[in-house]
Amino acid sequence: MTGFYIALIFFVTGMFLVAVTLLFSRLLQTKKPSPDKYLTYECGELPQGGAWIRFNNRFYIIALIFIIFDVEIVFMFPWAVVYGKIGLLAFVEMFIFIVVLLVGLAYVWANGDLQWVKPRPKLEHLPKAKGK
């Protein structure tokens, strides 16, 4: 348990040191506020709209696939630790497990979810708006 306590202390100390350094920097710096400085950077133009918008959903698909694989990998860590003691049975079980995982990968692959650049979606032909 001591080990994780030490890790916690490291984490908290890290945050604390960042805060202290920022405070120290605040003492040294000059402050000359002007409204232009606090604008969002957009290549020198006045910013158009905000950035908190809906985002391309392929990022979420990647995140979903990642979660599936990561959870399965967590199961493989304890297996790898005791593998030397169990032997054949462990090998057969993990073989089946990895084959199932690879089938999942093949499914995602064939489904085109791993493809970053997707062909343009074919939209169904929409009826033309009436009148002008």
Partner 1 sequence: MEPILKLFTDLLPGLSQLPYWLLATLAALIAALVLFGFIAVFALFAIWLERKISAHMQDRLGPMEVGGWHGWAQTIADTLKLLMKEDIIPEKADRILFKLAPMIVFSVSIASFVVLPWSRDFIPADLNVGLLYILSISSLAVIGILMGGWASNNKWSLYGAMRSVAQIVSYEIPISLSLITVILITGTLSMQGIVQSQQGNFLSWNIFHYFPFMFVAFVIYFIASLAEVNRTPFDLPEAESELVAGFHTEYSGMRFAFFFLAEYANMFIVSAIAATAFLGGWLPPFSFLDFIPGPFWFFGKALFLVFVQMWLRWTLPRLRVDQLMYTSWKVLTPFSFVLILIVSFWQLLTL
Smallest distance from partner 1 to CB 10, Å:
5
**CA 130/CA 88 separation, integer angstroms:** 71
Smallest distance from partner 1 to CB 26, Å:
6
Site for partner 1, rule CB under 8 A = 2-7, 9-15, 17-19, 21-22, 24-26, 28-32, 37-43, 47, 50-52, 55, 59, 62-63, 65-66, 69-70, 73, 76-77, 80-85, 87-88, 90-91, 94-95, 98, 101-102, 105, 109, 114-117
Query: Residues 39, 47: contact at Cβ < 8 Å?
Result: yes
Query: Residues 69, 109: contact at Cβ < 8 Å?
Result: no
User: Is 89 or 126 the residue whose CB approaches partner 1 more closely?
Assistant: 89
Non-local CB neighbours of 93 within 8 Å, separated by 6+ positions = 79
User: Is 3 or 127 the residue whose CB approaches partner 1 more closely?
Assistant: 3
Q: CA quadruple 46, 48, 52, 56: dihedral positive or negative?
A: negative
Smallest distance from partner 1 to CB 122, Å:
20
**CA 74/CA 76 separation, integer angstroms:** 5
User: Is 102 or 123 the residue whose CB approaches partner 1 more closely?
Assistant: 102
**CA 15/CA 27 separation, integer angstroms:** 19
Smallest distance from partner 1 to CB 31, Å:
6
User: Is 88 or 123 the residue whose CB approaches partner 1 more closely?
Assistant: 88
Query: Residues 95, 59: contact at Cβ < 8 Å?
Result: no
